[in-house]
A = this chain, B = another copy of it.
Amino acid sequence: MNITLKQIKAFVVVAQQESFMAACEILHISQPALSIAIKNLEQEVGGALLSRTTRAVVLTPEGELFLPTAKRLLQEWNDAFDDLSQSFALEHGILSIAAMPSFASSLVPSYLKKFRESYPQVKIKLHDVIAENAVQMVCDGQVELALVFEVPDSPQLDFIPLFEDKFVAAVSQYYEVTTQAITWQQLLSSPFIALQNPSNIRAQIEALLVQNELAFEVEFEANQLATIGQMVASGLGVSAVPSLCAPQFEALGAQCLALESPAITRHVGIVTQHRKPLSVAAQSFIGQLVEMYR
């Protein structure tokens, strides 16, 4: 059974026009072509749908019965493909991403703003969760991509670096400094305020300090970066955060200084599931980011 969409369209138009002549103008084909199309259709379905005399074309009872069905089929067909085309044209759809808090609360909003300006119809779901969970969400397929620190090489994940981030020291405005940069040793002489575990930032700091045999005592802990920032600004103590957070910390009244001996630098970028195709929305978003940092 080999019935064509064209044949159904032809049938519907002829039925509505009650004339082959009139129909073939709408369909932009010649009468013979139309005639044959209908004839083939009727042969396929095993009976006449239209009764033609030279003066009038009327539907057979079976044709009458089939006409609404045919219209429905065409309608659904068009709806389905319009929808699909719209998805590709980014005229609707959902972009589902995750970002680690330090990133989500700093640069990501501006990325989303830019993306939204290009594709205002695409809805955006941003999950701001700790880096570990963000990556897990990529693995689980809950989000298409995560914006996090570089992850260890994994056969299941791909990483696209965007830029390099360097940890900075966060100190109160009244913290006395002679140079623009301070060392970890200097920093740790003040009470240290750290993020609570689990946290990628906390883990990185701990790993680094253990590696460098630096004494490390946490005097205060909090969950949210904003809280840490506030605590630092209040003069409770000092902290070390990705430079990503510097503007936010400074806005809260803290002071951010270059931090060395040793410096912690990490790539920040996009994690996606390896070999899993991305939606055009995700592709476009990644494209914008890569372009921005190229």
Contact = CB atoms under 8 A, between A and B. Distances in A.
Interface in A10-67: 44-48, 51, 53, 56, 58-62, 65-66
Interface stretch (A80-88, A121-129, A166-174): A80-88
A233 to B, nearest CB: 43
Given A4-B4, A48-B277, 15 more contacts: A3-B5, A3-B77, A45-B88, A51-B277, A56-B275, A59-B277, A60-B277, A60-B278, A61-B277, A61-B279, A62-B279, A65-B84, A70-B80, A73-B76, A73-B77
B46 A85 contact: yes
A276 interface: yes
Contact of A81 (B45, B48, B53): B45
Integer count of this chain's copies in the complex:
2
A1 interface: yes
Contact of A80 (B48, B51, B73, B144): B73
Contacts of A83: 69
Contact of A3 (B73, B81, B280): B81
A77 B8 CA distance: 11
10 contacts: A1-B81, A3-B77, A4-B4, A45-B85, A47-B84, A51-B277, A59-B277, A60-B277, A62-B87, A62-B279
A58 B278 CA distance: 11
Given A62-B87, A65-B87, A53 B277 contact: no
A230 to B, nearest CB: 40
Nearest to A82: B1
Given A62-B279, A277-B60, A45 B4 contact: no
Counting from the closest, the 4 A-B pairs by CB-CB distance are A47-B88, A51-B277, A61-B279, A46-B88
Given A62-B88, A80-B73, A280-B62, A53 B275 contact: yes
A84 B62 contact: yes
A286 to B, nearest CB: 14
A275 B280 CA distance: 56
A277 B58 contact: yes
A209 interface: no
A208 interface: no
Nearest to A282: B61
Nearest to A63: B277
A89 interface: yes
Given A5-B5, A73-B77, A89 B277 contact: no
A51 B280 CA distance: 12
A76 B71 CA distance: 12
A53 B277 CA distance: 11
Contacts of A278: 60-61
A4 B277 CA distance: 25
A87 B47 contact: yes
